[in-house]
Structure 1
């Protein structure tokens, strides 16, 4: 029992010295760690690292100090090359598209063939009508007599629904050329019929005179005059 007490007292006397040594060793270890950390710390600072005072994450990093002196010229040359190449490709594509569009819009051969019709007037006797087809529409050609010409010219245009002189509807008094479609609903009138000796539409009862002007019935306008010309004394070209 006496020996145990003596050992306890010896340990108590050595405890302060042990604690001091441990503290000194801990402090030395911390200093060494700090020194090694400072020596091994890298000197490179990332351009993506934001400062504590300015934490702007939307700012584009500045790489100007890492750029080569010749980088600017080579970069511009590449940009010019890309812009020129894209421009050439776009122009070629646009040219092809426009050409295809214009080709599709142009009239076909059969349409061009129907655009004009030539008629031999020598085959039409005086006082008779001839009906031909032009652009899918009927066309009346009337070889008028002298009496019919006088009758058409003597009408007072003030009394007409669609006032028009006979001289404004013909290029030669003896030849009357009209589109044979009623201006009411598009029926084909009958020649040498009606109350005025011209044309009569059986669909709704429109009457046209010997100049193709509306005189009676629901039709609002005179019969249409197409584009035509006389190639010579005996040939008529419509269109």
Structure 2
């Protein structure tokens, strides 16, 4: 190496040694300034930094923090709030029950019988128009009803019969409210035919369709009919008047 190059190298080294302390002090000032501006210091991070997701100290983290809903709480008392809730529930329950009742009532009214049907539910019969020993046929609820004004001999015949031996055992007094008036549905108990009055082998009613015979009390005596003629509901509200139904 020549003399000039050695001199140049020595000068550069000397200049570098003189500038190194200044660079170090500048770096230290910059680092100190950055630490002052930043809230986080690595040397004191564990002591000064607190996580926003935890409460308490580092070793005592509260994991069951309950939010404070105080500002949303009602200003009224707990009893007052309960009374209001009960009142609202009861009111809506009452309105619901009333609506259900009206709905069911309207449905039942629509399903009930009309006025003309109700008019036929009961039939009044003027007994003074039926002579002794005669039959009349009354239409009631779409069915024929036999009304017989029996004579004394017919009453005696019906009462003297040994009813215990009959197919459908029934005494005459259980089939009439007044001995002289016999009221029956005019429908054969076999297949629903209409028997003929004052006919048959027993002086009562005869069904020509299948040959069933009934006596003067309407009890089956012969033929395929299994039961006596049915007795409808009827009453005598006053003398000379009968109401069927």
Short-chain TM bin: 0.7 to 0.9
Report the structure number with the largest CA radius of gyration.
2
Structure 1 position 133, deviation (Å): 0.7
Asked if 1:186 is matched to 2:195, the reply is no
Asked if 1:25 is matched to 2:30, the reply is yes
State the SS of the aligned residue for 1:223: coil
Question: What residue in structure 2 maps to residue 126 of structure 1?
Answer: 132
State the SS of the aligned residue for 1:192: strand
Correspondent of 2:211 among 184, 191, 205: 205
Question: What residue in structure 1 maps to residue 39 of structure 2?
Answer: 34
Q: 5+ residue gaps in structure 2? A: 42-47
Structure 1 position 67, deviation (Å): 5.3
Give me the whole-angstrom Cα distance separating, in 2, the residues matched to 1:168 and 1:141. Answer: 16
Structure 1 position 213, deviation (Å): 0.8
Asked if 1:54 is matched to 2:58, the reply is no
More divergent stretch after superposition (115-124 vs 22-31): 22-31
Question: What residue in structure 2 maps to residue 72 of structure 1?
Answer: 76
Asked if 1:230 is matched to 2:236, the reply is yes
Distance 1:172-1:86 versus aligned 2 partners, 3 A rule: closer
More divergent stretch after superposition (155-164 vs 23-32): 23-32
State the SS of the aligned residue for 1:71: coil
Give me the whole-angstrom Cα distance separating, in 2, the residues matched to 1:118 and 1:4. Answer: 149
Distance 1:24-1:238 versus aligned 2 partners, 3 A rule: same
